[in-house]
Amino acid sequence: MMQRDISSTDILDPNLLQSVVRQATFQCRAEGSGFYLCDPEGGHKTLLATQNLPKEPWDELFLKEMVESRRAVIKTLPDQSVLMAAPLVWQEAVRGLLIVFDSKPGRTFRNRDIALIQSLADLTASVAQQNERLARMTTQFRTLHTIDVALTSSLELDHVLNLILEKAAELVNAEHGSLRHLEPETGNLVLKAHYGEGWTKEKLAYTPRIGQGIARWVAEQQRPYLSPDVRKDPLNVVLFGDMRSSISVPLLYSSDEQPPKGRLIGVLLLESSRLAAFDQQDVELLEALAQEAVIAIQNATQLQKLKAEQERRLAAEKWAVMGQAATALAHRINNLLGIVPVSASEVLRILAKLDLSDADRRWARSNLERIQRNAQFILKLSEALFRPFKESGPPTRFDVNRLLNEAMESADLPEDIEIVCNYDKRQPLVNCSLLLLDIFLELITNACKAMESQKPRKLEVSSRSVQVAGLPWVMVKISDTGKGMSLHNLDHLWNLFQPSDDGLGFGLWWMRTFIERQGGTIECHSKPDNGATFIIRLPASTGRRQKSEDR
């Protein structure tokens, strides 16, 4: 069913198609271009994207010939206009056509132009095939989601925790409450949800220490606790002075295979301004609710893990598909253009021996040198496209601070830029590819470019350890005082082939794909004329830190 409906944005994004036709027109210096979606079964062809194409200068017969040929061609129409067409092939069928058109008299397209649009067509086909796989996986994921929703009221962990606390307070008519999660690594009871009024910043930051407070006793004993008058209870820690009684129950895994010390998930504590507001029946009600809460938390936690794993798997698949496409494109470009600079040099050497006028000699030399420059530029562009997908060895444990310092040194920053570095020296290592260094270098280089015409020019680089879902992560921030970005540009910042003032819109796409492949996240915050901040988060390595000499 999905194969028949590949025109949906799940398979071929309209923004991507518009970028493809725009790039095809620009790179071939043509008048216009268009993209057709082809139905392999019915033969129907739909024009989905155009660039400078007020009408279709070809007929249905031509489109049929292109589909049947299954190869890129150049054709001159009766009115002497010229066009190129390249097929998009996947699953052994032509599923699209990329056509470039020019009506200028005497205009010709060369083999390099054919190679270019065929590479764009191959790249688009690879993305479409990948999106088809992603759509299928999304359908499977939604099915799993529907089953889980039938078992619990929500699958978002934060919402589940708040819902549990709210329903518990309603159940026993409490006025204040808290739900704390046990961090296995540190043993801390971290506040995850709170209920009632009067929660100040200090109260939200409070974490009960060992041997302190009712919640800590419940966590250590893994038993409920009922306090009819907290003013006379030595275990009570006063957070709300008007509270008079409290009730607390542990959240425990119900599996008999779980060791006693590993059964605890967290602690639910409720308070009331009334003396002896809770009784044993309330304890039994909350224990029953706690069992349901544990199931909901387990489901929500499992879903989060599934989402994270799916994101990593999808990112890895996208990386593999794009790597294949980039490698094919770079190989084709190198084969076509690698000989050009050498040939141009040879022609220059031969011209030096010929008897030519000074004007002719200057004209020939100027054109040949331009050919050399253009060919070398395209070869460098090909290398830039291929470089991110080169194998850089297996993932290794890195000190992020060391990589940031190496990136700063490699960037060769101008002296008039104020540099502020704030590194957390005690943060854990990350398990990642060495391409992370390239990520940092590109972000720092982009920041310098963004500040070229700005005053003052300030670059801030920081790193620190953070907790995400109870696990250690490393967060890196790179901020500049450059020209910033509009909200519209931020919305399209990570799109493939989103053009910029000095690029083709590839760098940020591969950057995000790489970070997601490592199980991390990257985001950008910016406003016009107010700089930009890129934030990278990566899961920390589970092993111990390396010795200083290994870093």
Whether residue 401 has pLDDT greater than 90: yes
Mean pLDDT of the chain: 79
Least confident span in 16-30, 271-285, 290-304: 290-304
CA atoms within 13 A on the CB side of 37: 17
pTM confidence score? 0.39
Both tokens assigned to 337: 């253009």
Residue 520 phi, psi dihedral angles, 5° rounding: -110, -170
Q: Which DSSP string corresponds to 408-435?
A: HHHHT--TTSEEEEEE-TTPPPEEE-TH
Q: Please name the residues in contact with 385: beta carbons below 8 A apart, sequence gap of 6 or more.
A: 326, 329, 330, 506
Q: Is the pLDDT of residue 7 over 70?
A: no
Measured distance CA(284)–CA(293) in Å, rounded: 14
If you write DSSP's letter for every residue of 344-405 in order, what string do you get? Answer: HHHHHHHHTTS---HHHHHHHHHHHHHHHHHHHHHHHHHHHHHGGGS---S-EEE-HHHHHH
pLDDT band at residue 543 under the 50/70/90 scheme = low
Nearest to 218 by CA among 237, 205, 200: 237
The DSSP secondary structure of 469-514, one letter per residue, reads TTEEEEEEEEEE-S----HHHHHTTT-TT--BTTB-S-HHHHHHHH
Cα separation, 244 vs 146, in Å, equals 43
Cis peptide leading into residue 456 (ω within 30°)? yes
* End-to-end Cα distance, the chain: 52
Answer whether residue 224 shows pLDDT above 60.
Answer: yes
**Residue matched to tokens 């009819």:** 228
Domains located in the chain, CATH noted: 1-151 (3.30.450.40), 157-306 (3.30.450.40), 396-550 (3.30.565.10)
- Over its C-alpha atoms, the chain yields an Rg (Å, rounded) of 31
Cα within 13 Å of Cα(519), Cβ side: 19
Residue 229 confidence (pLDDT) above 90: yes
Q: What would the pLDDT profile of 106-132 be if each residue is shown by its tens digit?
A: 788 888 888 898 999 888 888 887 777
By DSSP bridging, strand 264-272 and strand 93-102 are unpaired
- Are the beta carbons of 526 and 542 closer than 8 angstroms? no
Burial class (CB in 10 A: 0-12, 13-18, 19+), 456: exposed
Count how many residues are written for the chain. 551
